[in-house]
Structure 1
Amino acid sequence: FTVDGGRVGDYVNDTGLNPKHDHIRFELDDGGVVTFNDPRRFGFVDFLADGPAEAYSGFHGMGPEPLSEDFNAHYLKVVFSRRRGPVKQVLLDQSVIAGLGNIYVAEALFRARISPLRPAAEISIGALGRLVSSINAVISEAIEAGGSSISDFADTDGVAGRFQMSFNVYGREGDGCSVCGRPIYRMIQSGRSTFYCRRCQR
């Protein structure tokens, strides 16, 4: 089977309390129980027929995983050359890269010193190399920190993530940039908040 947690769905070790938003319980061979908890009901579970997971239709059309060998500057150069939109919007497209969300795109663009408004097709191969490195670093550090707990996210033991303590731009409107001190700017792009430094990110 495959599980899509939506925006806030997650697995939790069952405590026997039967919380309101537990939707599926998985009873394990060792007697343990894991539940799928999804307060907003954006997630889903699909049961797959026999065969490789890659054959599942829900994975068709998705881009490479950020930490995979297929994700590199040359891949982005080819994909970006066919896109007219700003780089932030292209990075959020799951057919370009699987699994990137608003928070990690904002943080990666800051580290790569790329404006979220810059047209994707105009970014040089050198800048794309910085972007790939930044995305990989942000994702790896976020995993190590247990994720980002903005509202109700927690790991399987109910422990909140800690990566939000390392944010440079996301959610920091008006705070000083960690590099230049200029206030972090917030704007709306396609209905989503965008946070960036207008001096450091070009």
Structure 2
Amino acid sequence: MPELPEVETVRRGLEPHMQGAKLSEVRLHRPNLRYPFPEHFAQRLDGAEVLRLERRAKYLLFYLDTQDVWVTHLGMTGRFQVNDSPEDLARYYHAAAPDEKHLHFQCLATLPEGGVSRIDYYDPRRFGFMLLLKPDELYESKWFKGLGVEPLSDELTPAHLLEMAHGRNVNLKALLMAQGGPKGGIAGLGNIYVCEALWRARLSPDHKASALKPKEAASLIEGIKTVLEEAVASGGSSISDFAAASGELGYFQHRFCVYDRKGQPCPRNDGGVIERKVHQGRSSFFCPVCQT
């Protein structure tokens, strides 16, 4: 499943082609993805201008001049692709139907200066979805209400993490994977980057949350922010079917220190061998020597 760096990579790839653009020729090639498309979805997008693109956790938010917010979650295999060659555009104007099995949504995006791009959305497993919400109901909806702080924002501090962990009888892996909760949470952190951040902080995924010390919290926050920033700079991790909107693959997977490296030596050369363990149904990878 695309995680925060991958979704941010997609947002950045779409922004030059879609921010300020007018949408037209909206086509749906099936009635649903994970959920049915919103009622009159194509008609409500057609003619709308994209005022700005944002990301919240793992969601893409397209703010439209119609006072709608077009929300997209990529699910496990969803991806946008930008096509702006004359050949691509000519085929779009003349083709009656897509010739690709997993192409479910298309539209044209025309910038004020005249550039036109064809925006395609593919999703082989169809676990992604698209919504239309009003701005004033967005953060009261079931998808966004209760989401924690953004991990790359100034809101995520060691103090916030210590407050989250205080009195919690869970391990650090579970604490970091929770997207919200009564004591807050961290929105958008996924399995890959939690494993990598814990390794950087030298903390075991089994470390008890309530036992977290201030110095450890500071190391963990630094690990979270650093690994996410490096992953975004690398275009995300291209595992499964992920690709950026340009079609290019990310390459952060080549820099994994523990994720999916079971049986390999720890990069710290401390004599440790990477182990795998299951937490809450997800694989954790860690070094038993340097992570305590």
* Normalised-by-shorter TM-score class: over 0.9
Partner of 2:271: 181
Measure the CA separation in 2 of the matches of 1:38 and 1:119. Answer: 38
* Counterpart for residue 282 of structure 2: 192
> SS where residue 106 of structure 2 aligns?
strand
SS of aligned partner of 2:116 = coil
Match of 1:44 among 129, 134, 152: 129
Residue pair 2:165, 2:210 contacting (<8 A) in 1 also: yes
Asked if residue 64 in structure 1 is aligned to residue 149 in structure 2, the reply is: yes
1:32 corresponds to? 117
Q: Distance in 2 between matches of 1:123 and 1:40?
A: 39
Partners of 1:94 and 1:200 in 2: CA distance: 27
In structure 2, C-alpha distance between the alignment counterparts of 1:99 and 1:41, rounded to whole Å: 20
The aligned counterpart of 2:45 is none
**Which residues in structure 2 correspond to 1:162-173 (within 5 Å)?**
162-173=251-262
* Larger mean Cα displacement after TM superposition, 58-67 or 11-20: 11-20
1:101 aligns with 2:190: yes
Farther-moved stretch of structure 1 (106-115 vs 29-38): 29-38
Q: 2: CA distance between counterparts of 1:113 and 1:125? A: 14
Letter in 2 for 1:85: V
Q: Which moved more, 1:68-77 or 1:106-115?
A: 68-77
Instruction: Point out the structure with the larger strand share.
Output: 2
Task: Tell me: CA distance 1:189–1:57, structure 2 relative to 1, closer, same or farther (3 Å).
Answer: closer
Question: CA offset at residue 99 of structure 1?
Answer: 0.8
- The alignment partner of 2:197 has SS state of helix
User: C-alpha displacement at 1:22, in angstroms?
Assistant: 2.2
Tell me the distance in 2 between the aligned counterparts of 1:162 and 1:3: 24
Larger Rg: 2
Q: Unaligned stretches of 5+ in structure 1?
A: none
- The reply to whether residue 76 of structure 1 matches residue 166 of structure 2 is no
Return the offset for 1:73. 0.7
Query: Helix, strand or coil for the counterpart of 2:283?
Result: strand
> Between Structure 1 and Structure 2, how many residues are aligned?
202
> What amino acid maps onto 1:43 in structure 2?
G
Deviations 1:66-106 (A, max 9, x none): 10111111111111114211110111111111111110000
> How far is the alpha carbon of 1:56 from its aligned partner?
4.9
Contact 2:77/2:240, CA 8 A, preserved across alignment:
no
Shift of 1:6: 1.5
What residue number does 1:11 align with? 80
Residue deviations 1:22-50 (CA, integer Å, cap 9, x gap):
22223212421112222221111111225
For residues 85-124 of structure 1, the aligned pairs below 5 Å read 85-95=170-180, 96-124=185-213
Query: What is residue 104 of structure 2 aligned with on the other side?
Result: 23
Local SS of the residue matching 2:240? coil
C-alpha separation in 1, matches of 2:103 and 2:271: 44
RMSD: 1.8
